Structure 1
Amino acid sequence: MAEEHENHGHSIAAWTLVGLMMLGSVFIAFGVAFGRHSLDIVGVVICVVGVAAGKILAKAGFGAPALQAPGKQEHHEVSTQAQTGVH
């Protein structure tokens, strides 16, 4: 079971996304606490930038590799087996 999640969240994309989301959340929290809407807006912008940065970094190859569930086969492998009759 531990092998399935050994790479979970250990990527530049994940840390960038989480870091920017936390920073944005702090700005939003201070904006709510002190009644400053400008801090709320800055926090929301930072959160949106964090999500975009995480997605862009993941697409650029800085994300964790996708894990395939044990026993699952790729779609093209299944269709090849169905065509040839070999299982």
Structure 2
Amino acid sequence: MADNHGNTIAAWTAVTIATLGFVVGGIGLMAYSWITFWIGVALLPIGAVAGIVLAKAGYGAPKNALKSRQPAGH
């Protein structure tokens, strides 16, 4: 496994936004507020897209991070 597995700006941003989406959605369910619930649901793909965009912008794990940890012959 890569040394920086999940420890990148892209990963932290995606997880933070997704967690916020789950929290907002849960609050919306408990308060019977469908608008709040759907805002939380909308945050989930936003978090995924933000992570992908940041990774492509160079804030993710390097492409060769996994290759450098492979045993010889693989």
Name 2:36's counterpart in structure 1. 39
Structure 1, gaps ≥5 residues long: 73-87
Relative contact order: is structure 1 or structure 2 higher (C-alpha 8 Å, sep ≥ 6)? 2
Larger radius of gyration: 1
TM-score (norm 1): 0.72
Deviation of 1:45 (Å): 1.4
Equivalent residues in 2 for 1:12-51, closer than 5 Å: 12-51=9-48
- Identity, % of aligned positions: 41
Structure 2, gaps ≥5 residues long: none
RMSD of Structure 2 on Structure 1 (CA): 1.2
